[in-house]
Amino acid sequence: MREIFDLINQMSPYVLLGFLFAGLMHAFIPNNLCSKYLGGNSLRSVINAIILSIPLPLCSCGVIPTAMSLRREGASKGATIAFLISTPQTGIDSIIATYSIMGLPFAIIRPTAAILTALLGGILGITFADEKEKNYNTEQHESNTVEEPKRGFLQKIAGGIKYAFVDMMQDIGRWLVMGLVIAGIITVFVPDSFFEFFSQSSLLSMMLVLSLAIPMYLCATGSIPIAVALMLKGLSPGTALVLLMAGPAVNTASMLIVNKVMGRRTLLIYIGSIIAGSMVFGLGIDYLLPREWFMQPLATFHEHCHHGLPVFNIICSVLLLALLVNAFIRRHNHSHHHNCDCGHCEGEECSCKSEKSSTMLCVEGMSCNHCKASVEKALKSVPGVESVEVELVTGEVTITGTFNSDEAVKAVEAIGFTARLRE
């Protein structure tokens, strides 16, 4: 499994740098910036969605509830589609990681293709999507949105670092590891002759990759080693781009949620735009651009591995491994830090009994800290809600205050999750 370790050592400095940039952008970009400029069924809302999605450090699963939340706040269907397509593929962490292994051409073409595909999806969305609104009140939601407390510069820096190396590691880390493992399996166990038939036809190989990438979840960063492994086995650079675009942009979970919240026609536009955009750019790479542009970085990577990598890369790999282990421990031990009967209060006595009112919800579909934050934001918009505590691993949500329980359930379902009152 030397290939996996070589890949980790090559990527680790860039992955850490990308996480750091993403964390700082999360800390300094206002959370309510997007919702102000995405309303209206116009081309401007689509362009604004793309522009505002580029710097946002959202993973492939975190973008789903965020987009549904924006839709609930008044974003047009076209803007929401564009946001869904563009955001996972234009993150600074994935762009830097792409450059580290696949070279500058891929690092430029990948986000460019994502942006233009998002523009296509947004235009189709505002042209053909049924704009029948869901049963929620946008003005009421906005008036009940809880403002974020103001923080100083150093507090934002500290918060950004924590977000990058704790929260994002919890969200993306496991998918990055999974991508590396899959890449190693492809490299070691799949014979070179397996892809010979598909390597003769770019269109056929792209259709094969699309059939595998669309239903499964692929992180934007975690898809990079898989694409590299497939290229080393003989598949074309254009096919690798199809994987890099389709994998992070759409999966079974996102399809189900888009269909539930925005309807079947919007779902077809969403999937069709991704398929058309990825294949057009993939075929363009294979037939219009020199293959050497995309294969030379891989050859350089192997040459560096053969001669050994700098000590700095090894140190970064050890640091990355330590952060991944810490994220795993924090994610799975968080639910065991409570000692009271309700499972949410520290200390030997339960303080929940002294609160005004407490309601438990079971929410299905949360998979990352962005999902958790979206559920918290949606519930805090419900009139009468005073506080919300979300347990990501178990899906349990404790809501305190005097409010309508049905409205709380509808608020969670409006952003694409399934919720029910705990009996």
Q: What share of the chain is helix, strand, coil (3-state, %, to 5)?
A: 70, 5, 25
Task: Look up residue 104 and give its amino acid.
Answer: L
Question: Tens-of-pLDDT digits for all 423 residues of the chain?
Answer: 566 676 677 777 877 877 787 778 778 766 566 566 777 778 888 998 898 888 776 766 667 777 777 787 778 889 989 998 998 888 777 888 888 888 899 999 999 999 999 999 999 998 886 545 433 334 434 444 445 567 788 888 998 888 888 887 887 777 777 767 776 677 667 666 666 666 667 788 898 888 888 887 777 877 888 888 888 888 889 999 999 999 888 877 778 878 877 888 889 999 999 999 999 999 999 999 998 888 887 766 555 555 555 788 788 889 988 988 888 888 767 544 444 444 444 444 444 444 456 788 898 888 777 788 888 888 988 888 888 998 888 888 999 988 888 889 988 888 888 888 876
Domain 352-421 fold is: Alpha-Beta Plaits (3.30.70)
Neighbouring CB atoms inside 10 A of 137's CB total 11
In residues, how long is the chain? 423
**β-sheet with 385-390: strand ranges across:** 385-390, 396-401, 358-364, 418-421
Name the phi and psi angles at 364, rounded to 5. Answer: -105, 140
- C-alpha triplet 252, 61, 1: angle, nearest 5°: 90
Chain segment 75-118, per-residue pLDDT in tens: 888 998 999 899 888 877 788 888 888 889 999 999 999 999 99
Task: Name the amino acid, one letter, at 271.
Answer: I
User: Helices 252-262 and 63-72 sit at what angle, rounded to 10 degrees?
Assistant: 10
- DSSP characters for 335-362? GG---STTSS--SSS-SGGGSS-EEEEE
What are the tens digits of pLDDT across the range 227-276? 888 888 888 899 999 999 998 888 777 788 788 778 888 899 999 999 99
CATH 3.30.70.100 in the chain: give the residue spans.
352-421
pTM for the predicted model, two decimal places: 0.69
State the alpha helices, DSSP H only, in 129-251. 138-143, 153-162, 168-189, 196-199, 202-213, 223-232, 237-249
Helices and strands in the chain: count of H runs, count of E runs: 19, 4
Say how many Å lie between the first and final Cα of the chain, rounded.
Answer: 49
Report helix, strand or coil for 39. strand
Which position has the token pair 């309700």?
342
* 320 Cβ contact partners less than 8 Å away, ≥ 6 residues apart: 8, 12, 15, 16
What distance lies between CA 279 and its chain's CA centroid?
A: 21
Asked if residues 331 and 393 have their Cβ atoms less than 8 Å apart, the reply is yes
The 3-class SS string of 233-263 reads: CCCCHHHHHHHHHHHHHCCHHHHHHHHHHHC
Q: How far apart are CA 244 and CA 254, in angstroms?
A: 17
Nearest Cα to Cα of residue 119 among 29, 189, 45: 45
CA neighbours closer than 13 Å in the CB half-sphere of residue 257 = 29
